[in-house]
Chain A
Amino acid sequence: MDVLLTSTAEAFRLLFSGNPEIWEIVGISFRVSSMAILAAVPPALVIAFTLAYGSFPGRRFLISLFNTFLSVPAVVIGLTLFIILSRQGPMGDFKLLFTQTAMGLGQFFLCLPILVCMAHVSLQAADRAAWETARTLGANRLRAFFTVLYEIRFGLMAALLAGYGRIISEVGASMMLGGNIAHYTRNIPTAIALETSKGAFAEGIALGIVLLFLAFVLNSLLQYVQGKGSINP
């Protein structure tokens, strides 16, 4: 109990003394995860739209597949990409292993299924009439696509936050693909794992507090968005 109290007190001191290392780690976390989710949104929307509006053989199978990917362990994604990106792997020539790019790629594939599935569910729940109306009113396919996306914007926001929540706190794939290199690929979760393994519990808890705070901000945003999306007058 004593360890917990002293570590937490020390953690707060570290955070508010403006320790530059901790804030650098926070910056790397934000940078990589934001890049990853920004890259994942366009393909995810296209896939979700195709799954909801298209009719082609294997559509239901693809939906099941993406739902299955929701529960794939992060380390499995990490290991698969590790093998692909390793110098002996098919993409070895790009020298991506142990870079922020590799970490970002891991997070890209981690949040993609969440974005696809949640966007798909939102599209399913939305009225197909939006698409039909837009088309009848003379909108081209692209315009109609954006009209539908606007209709489901609250669902998409929720998808975005859920996806971000998963990748900002993920440790397995980031550790494997980034290598936890100081000042470069050390993000909040891998730093927590490292500090814990060193027995530096205060640093671990300080970073845990930052992560919790981020999660809280994300959840508050979600609450706000859902509040606006209320069907009550």
Chain B
Amino acid sequence: MFRKALLVAVSLLVMGQASADASLLRLATTTSTANSGLMDLLLPKFTAETSIEVHLIAVGTGKALRLGREGDVDIVLVHARAAEDAFVDAGYGTDRAEVMYNDFIIVGPETDPAGTAKSNTVAEVLQRIHASEKPFISRGDDSGTHKRELFLWQSANKSPDGSWYREVGQGMGKTLQIANEIDGYTMTDRGTWLAYESKLDIQLLFEGDPPLFNPYGIIAVNPERHPDVNYTGAIKLIKWMTSPAAQKMIGEFKIKGQQLFVPSVGNAS
């Protein structure tokens, strides 16, 4: 009976459904990329030029790579260099290309009780927060941002533990709101910060140290592992995203007058 029910449901729902083919590309990317609005600007232009429709699926970096590994998407655009390399080395992905980078910033209460604003490096910022034991909110969700934060703690030779370190397991926007409510520190990507800044009391306290730069890589899912992925379409998108025209659009993309991403290809400026 269940099988019958399932069959009825599937056949009813399949009607009018666009079937997966060469004109459809599934792109898994991170929530922060999708939320910035950059892809809403770029993808329609790509579709207009190539007639390939892109379905954008926004998840955390960990989940995006997993979707690629299982062949549930054709291509991924993520920001977690170490995890990306592992993904390619394991044969899950191929044709990786750098597209752009943005940066992370440290935000916290205006009074800055840990004195982070006096720091010269991000390692020093984290050491000061660690020493002061003031609340630090961590994404705690295995996202690219979370991975980077853990890496930075490691680089600062401090292990984040104790009741002042709070893993919330939420997206960046929620994490900022939580930090705001409890007067805590957190690390955020600049895009989400710009979107939320006006609604928050916490302030930008530290920026500009190279370890905070955040490169985005685009990787096609390996057709040798998943023969029916849209590999041709994926290669087209990689070529297009790294083309001078798309790179120029990325560089000119602004939120509230601020540039969010720096193009990676031929970036002489």
Name A residues whose Cβ lies closer than 8 Å to a Cβ of B. Answer: 3, 35-36, 38-40, 42-43, 46-47, 86-88, 92, 94-101, 104-105, 108, 112, 179-182, 184, 194, 196-201
Whether B1 sits at the interface, judged by CB under 8 Å, is yes
Whether B134 sits at the interface, judged by CB under 8 Å, is no
Q: Are A39 and B173 in contact (CB under 8 A)?
A: no
With A108-B9, A197-B31 given, is the CB distance from A87 to B72 under 8 Å? yes
Residues of A within 8 A of B40 (CB): 182
Q: Are B17 and A47 in contact (CB under 8 A)?
A: no
State how many angstroms separate the Cβ of B204 from the closest Cβ of chain A: 16
Least CB separation from B73: chain A residue:
A98
Residues of A within 8 A of B196 (CB): 199
Binary interface encoding of chain B residues 83-122 relative to chain A, with 1 for a CB under 8 A from any of its CBs, else 0: 0000000000000000000000000000000000000000
Secondary structure call for the B interface = helix
State how many angstroms separate the Cβ of B188 from the closest Cβ of chain A: 12
Residues of A within 8 A of B172 (CB): 197
State how many angstroms separate the Cβ of B219 from the closest Cβ of chain A: 17
With A39-B12, A46-B1, A88-B70 given, is the CB distance from A99 to B57 under 8 Å? no
Least CB separation from A3: chain B residue:
B199
A98 to B24, CA, bound (A): 12
Give 13 A-B pairs besides A36-B9, A108-B5 with Cβ atoms closer than 8 angstroms: A35-B13, A39-B5, A40-B9, A87-B72, A92-B71, A96-B10, A101-B14, A105-B10, A181-B56, A197-B31, A197-B171, A199-B199, A201-B199
Please list 18 pairs of residues, one from A and one from B, whose beta carbons are closer than 8 Å in the complex, sorted by A's number: A39-B13, A43-B1, A43-B2, A46-B1, A47-B1, A87-B72, A87-B226, A101-B10, A101-B17, A105-B13, A179-B59, A181-B56, A194-B35, A197-B31, A197-B173, A198-B173, A199-B195, A200-B195
A105 to B40, CA, bound (A): 28
Residues of A within 8 A of B174 (CB): 197
A108 to B8, CA, bound (A): 11
Interface size of B in residues (CB-CB distance below 8 Å)? 36
Least CB separation from B173: chain A residue:
A197
* Residue in A39, A105, A196 whose Cβ sees the most chain B Cβ within 10 Å: A39
Residues of B within 8 A of A182 (CB): 40, 56
Least CB separation from A35: chain B residue:
B13
A198 to B5, CA, bound (A): 38
Q: Specify which of A43, A98, A100, A101 is in contact with B5 (CB 8 Å cutoff).
A: A43
Q: Are A99 and B9 in contact (CB under 8 A)?
A: no
Whether B55 sits at the interface, judged by CB under 8 Å, is yes
Q: Are B1 and A99 in contact (CB under 8 A)?
A: no
Q: Are B8 and A198 in contact (CB under 8 A)?
A: no
State how many angstroms separate the Cβ of B260 from the closest Cβ of chain A: 14
Binary interface encoding of chain B residues 195-207 relative to chain A, with 1 for a CB under 8 A from any of its CBs, else 0: 1100100000000
Q: Are B10 and A184 in contact (CB under 8 A)?
A: no
A196 to B216, CA, bound (A): 24
Whether B146 sits at the interface, judged by CB under 8 Å, is no
Q: Are A112 and B70 in contact (CB under 8 A)?
A: no
Within 8 A of A (CB), among B3-19: 4-6, 8-10, 12-14, 17, 19
Least CB separation from B14: chain A residue:
A101
Whether B58 sits at the interface, judged by CB under 8 Å, is yes
Whether B20 sits at the interface, judged by CB under 8 Å, is yes
Q: Specify which of B9, B26, B31, B56 is in contact with A39 (CB 8 Å cutoff).
A: B9
State how many angstroms separate the Cβ of B236 from the closest Cβ of chain A: 19
Residues of A within 8 A of B58 (CB): 180, 194
Q: Are A181 and B8 in contact (CB under 8 A)?
A: no
Q: Specify which of B13, B35, B70 is in contact with A198 (CB 8 Å cutoff).
A: B35
State how many angstroms separate the Cβ of A56 from the closest Cβ of chain B: 12
Q: Are A197 and B1 in contact (CB under 8 A)?
A: no
State how many angstroms separate the Cβ of A110 from the closest Cβ of chain B: 12
Q: Specify which of B1, B17, B19, B57 is in contact with A181 (CB 8 Å cutoff).
A: B57
Q: Are A104 and B8 in contact (CB under 8 A)?
A: no
Q: Are B195 and A98 in contact (CB under 8 A)?
A: no
A17 to B162, CA, bound (A): 50
State how many angstroms separate the Cβ of A69 from the closest Cβ of chain B: 12
The 4 closest A-B pairs by CB, nearest first: A43-B5, A179-B57, A87-B71, A39-B9
